[in-house]
Amino acid sequence: MAMNDEQLERYARHLILNGVGAKGQKRLLAASVLIIGAGGLGSPVALYLAAAGVGRIGLADGDVVDLSNLQRQIIHTTARVGTPKVESAAAAIRALNPDVTVDEHVGLVDASNIAALIEPYDLVIDATDNFSTKFLINDACVLAGKPFIHAGVVGFAGQVMDVVPGAGPCYRCIFEEMPPAGEVPTCKEAGVLGAVVGVIGSLEATEAVKLIVGVGEPLIGRMLTVDALTMNVRRVPLPERVPECAVCGDHPTITALDPARYVQTACVI
């Protein structure tokens, strides 16, 4: 696949970058990524992957842009308040990079549709805001053998990890089950610093590029945690795949996506 003159100029800094180069840029142009969540985390992920030249980006979200989102959800604008977030984010991506094909999936992601949503994509990004959907993404991706990148943010802190089925632990290996309702403060209850969401989303985009290009050390079997108040950044080793894990273990008990298992516990990021 030869790049045209405009692409050679647009991606010039990648083309001279050791570890990316023309081969890596072509991988990006041929890649497809589904971003589940077009809010605070999804904003920097979508913008940076589009800028990097990821050839196909899917956006899945059922919400509309609200004025209170704009403190952190930088892909949206005041003029687009009331617009479906997927439509708003797609407009921003197309304005940034016409190379990118954008798939718009307007609506909630749940157990009835997630398998079909993730099927056409190489990589999935968890940019969601509740435990239920995070466990759903994990279970669906593990069952389908799809790699995904997890992130979470609350207050001044966030975390990122990569899940590659067969190459390390999954999200359920680490967290097992959803916490009881009310046990963990939500972003709506505790607040969240907009810039921190941007940092964590940018780290997700970085991990996505690394996995697509095949460079560096991805966060497989490790979790990166960031505390912005102290600027303490830690790379925490995670246990190996847990043989007793309900979805990726030796004798899994989760072999299908039962909607009753994924009760929403909403938190607006």
Residue type, 60: A
pTM of the predicted model as reported, rounded to 2 decimal places: 0.96
170 labelled ligand-binding: yes
Across 207-243, b (16+ Cβ under 10 Å) vs e yields bbbbbbbebeebbbbbbbbbebeeeeeeeeebeebbe
Query: Which domains are delineated in the chain?
Result: 31-261 (3.40.50.720)
Task: Say whether 133 counts as a known binding-site residue.
Answer: yes
What is the average pLDDT across 163-168? 96
Report how far apart, in Å, the C-alpha atoms of 59 and of each of 1, 86, 124, 191, 254 are: 26, 6, 10, 25, 26
Residues 6+ apart with CB under 8 A from 240: 168, 169, 221
**Percentage of the chain lying above the pLDDT 70 cut:** 96
State the average pLDDT over residues 209-232.
98
Q: What is the pLDDT of residues 26-41, one digit of tens each?
A: 999 999 999 999 999 9
pLDDT digits (tens, 9 = 90+) for 5-58: 999 999 999 999 999 999 999 999 999 999 999 999 999 999 999 999 999 999
Which has the minimum average pLDDT: 62-66, 127-131, 182-186, 215-219?
A: 182-186
pLDDT at 267: 41
Mean pLDDT of 152-170: 96
Indicate the SS3 state at residue 31. Answer: coil
Q: For the residues of 13-28, what is the DSSP string, one character each? A: HHHTSTTTHHHHHHHH
Task: Tell me 239's DSSP state.
Answer: P
Q: Please state, for a pLDDT cut of 90, what percent of the chain lies above it.
A: 88
141 a catalytic residue: no
Contact between 226 and 196 under an 8 Å Cβ cutoff? The reply is: yes
> What pLDDT does 198 receive?
98
Residue corresponding to tokens 């516990």: 265
The answer to the question of whether 141 is labelled as a binding residue is: no
| Catalytic residue from among 41, 163, 187, 211 | 187
Pair 207, 149: CB distance under 8 Å? yes
Has residue 62 got a pLDDT over 80?
yes
Question: pLDDT grade, residue 263 (50/70/90)?
Answer: confident
Mean of the pLDDT values across residues 152-161?
96
Residue 151 has pLDDT above 60, yes or no: yes
| Average per-residue pLDDT for the chain | 94
